Structure 1
Amino acid sequence: MTDCLRSMTGFGSGSCEAGNVRVKVELRSVNHRYLKVACHLPDSFSSLQGQIDSYLKEKIERGSLSVSIQLQETDEGADNCGFEQIKRNYDRLCALRDEMAPGQEVKISDAILLQGQNGLGYKVDEESDGLLMNALEDAVAEMRQMQQNEGERLLEEFNRILDCIDKGIGQLEEALPGAMKWLGERFQERIRQWVEPTGVDLVSQDLAREIGILAERSDITEELTRLRGHLIEYRKVILDGGRVGRRLDFLTQEMFREANTMASKLPRHDLAH
């Protein structure tokens, strides 16, 4: 599989036909932690269940897949084929009636019902198996293309958001020296307000030490560095593609943690938001 960012939501269909028979396959995929396949196929194709599952596991890594497989008659020869098959079904039912319940009525509706249960009365062989797998291959290709298209749109949106965050980091870095100076002056004034009523004489050295401690607690340089590192890793992950969900979830949580820490450290509304 080509490594790229893909959505897990997608739809694809494919059909193949030979003679008067058409096999149609539809795939629907939604988000799921693992690969989960629910396959709905005619009884005549039940022997291919394992082959279908193996093919899907080879082509698709994650998602909840719903697989619908239909066996249909084409317009060409459909009427004759269906009519002749119903007649054969009726004859078989009559023979079974004569052997097991002589005198009991056999209805045309019973022959028609048997027709539907037999999957159009079409005998499944290697050719029809090939039709099914070809249709499945087309459906998977169409669904994967849809997922890739959605992934490309997600990539654009991710990059737009990351650019906004990157811009915000730059603005914070630019404003940080002025903010730290403002904090120092604010801390100095607060300390004087606390000390003056007590009559305690605070020398400049002690005052500078206390201001330094308070300013260090409000410094967000380390958080900004880590946040920028998370942005770089985020871009790398979405560019590499593949199975990115858990890694992006972890990075997003870490970015929120750094942002919350910075907001709590900076007592300035304009910078915290």
Structure 2
Amino acid sequence: MISLVQSMTGYGTSTFTLRDTTITVEIRSVNHRFLDIVPKYPRTFLFLEDRIKKIIKSHFSRGRVEIHIDMNGEGFVNKSIVTDWELVDQFIHQLKLAKERYSLNGEFPVTVLTELPDLITVYENEEKPNELNEQLLFNVEKTCRQVLKMRVEEGKYLIEDVLKRVSVIRDMVLLLESRREAVVEEYRQRIIKRVSEFVDTQITSEDGRLYQEIALLAEKGDITEEITRLHSHLDQMEELCMNDNPIGRKLDFVIQEMNREANTIGSKSNDSKIGKWTVGLKSEIEKIKEQVQNIE
């Protein structure tokens, strides 16, 4: 059974119309270490920002989430005109003085008043009816569910891929385990041979203290502990992949530990087969790491 683990990539959009105004809600989600909500909408909706963020947080715990809200139409805008009559009076007075001073004839057109700044100002008063607020929040919720569906669907494929690679790695670890005893014995024999080159007599089983030292040196090349920990990490990864809660950070930690064990195995052993298998092991671990970067 595959869990409902999410990826961090998703997209959703919804549109509704009120009073001849079309409002579009669009949400995009991409990778991010934490949850980063980026609002991109008109100032008229800022008073709803806390409620919008609360809805988003109820669906997602990681990822960069951009929310766009666009309005097309003026169904919620009332326009009004305000005239600065005191300034108009001063302007007319100055026109009369100019006519007298320069002996000007004719009348100034009324349209000149609309061409001068600050005399007449058009104000837009935006309404925020409860109906708009409710519909907007409803569509934010609706869009979040679309994004969630996409993230869960992609998360399903990511987890399937991770579990396949976990199976491949487990087979590799079993190969390493099958080679362990032979490698320890080969390592022990190499030590005995090297020591014999520096002593006058052949080393025998009666040389207890020397054999003890050789055994201790041989144990340094033993990879039993690393293999045991790798098995444990693989079990932990499989268990996490069956979880419906956010697991990205936990998986990332387990991957780091697995990589550390693989590096230790590679540094301990001079065996060509183990060296080759370790390279393959690290390659598969790196592939899992790349997938885990996109898991919530």
What amino acid is the match of 1:33?
A: R
Counterpart-to-counterpart distance in 2, 1:167 and 1:202: 39
The code of the aligned residue for 1:134 comes to: F
Per-residue deviation, 1:181: 2.9
Q: Out of 177, 186, 205, which is 1:173 matched to?
A: 177
Which has more radius of gyration?
Answer: 2
Residue 124 of structure 1 corresponds to 128
Q: CA RMSD in A?
A: 2.8
Alignment check: 8 A CA contact 1:16 1:23 kept: yes
User: Which secondary structure does the structure 1 equivalent of 2:11 belong to?
Assistant: strand
Q: Per-residue displacement from partner, 1:79-138 (whole Å, max 9, x unpaired)? A: xx79xx8xx84xx43x5255753665437xxxxx969xx5xx763311111221122112
Q: Which residue of structure 1 lines up, in the alignment, with residue 18 of structure 2?
A: 18
Gaps in structure 2 of 5+ consecutive residues: 90-109, 116-120, 277-296
Runs of 4+ in 1 over 6 A off after TM superposition: none
- Larger deviation, residues 257-266 vs 41-50: 41-50
- Asked if the contact 2:59–2:148 (Cα under 8 Å) also holds between the matched residues in 1, the reply is no
Confirm or deny: 8 A CA contact 2:29 2:64 kept in the other structure.
Answer: yes
What count of residue pairs does the alignment treat as equivalent? 247
Structure 1 residues 182 and 202 mapped into 2: Cα distance closer, same or farther (>3 Å)?
closer
- Assess, with a 3 A threshold, how the Cα gap between structure 1 residues 98 and 29 changes in structure 2: closer, same or farther: same
Is 31-40 or 234-243 further displaced after alignment?
31-40
Distance 1:266 1:154 in 2: 33
1:106 equivalent among 111, 114, 119: 114
**More helix by percentage:** 1
The alpha-carbon deviation at position 268 of structure 1 amounts to: 0.9
**1:260 matched to which residue of 2?**
263
1:175-190, aligned counterparts within 5 Å?
175-190=179-194
Instruction: Name the counterpart of 2:83.
Output: 96
Offset of 1:222 from its aligned partner? 1.5
Are the counterparts in 1 of residues 29 and 65 from structure 2 also a CA contact under 8 Å?
A: yes
Partner of 1:222: 225
Instruction: Report deviation, 1:189.
Output: 2.0
Identity %: 28
Q: TM-score, normalised on structure 2? A: 0.73
Task: Sort the Cα spacing of 1:114 and 1:181 in 2 relative to 1 into closer, same or farther, 3 A.
Answer: farther
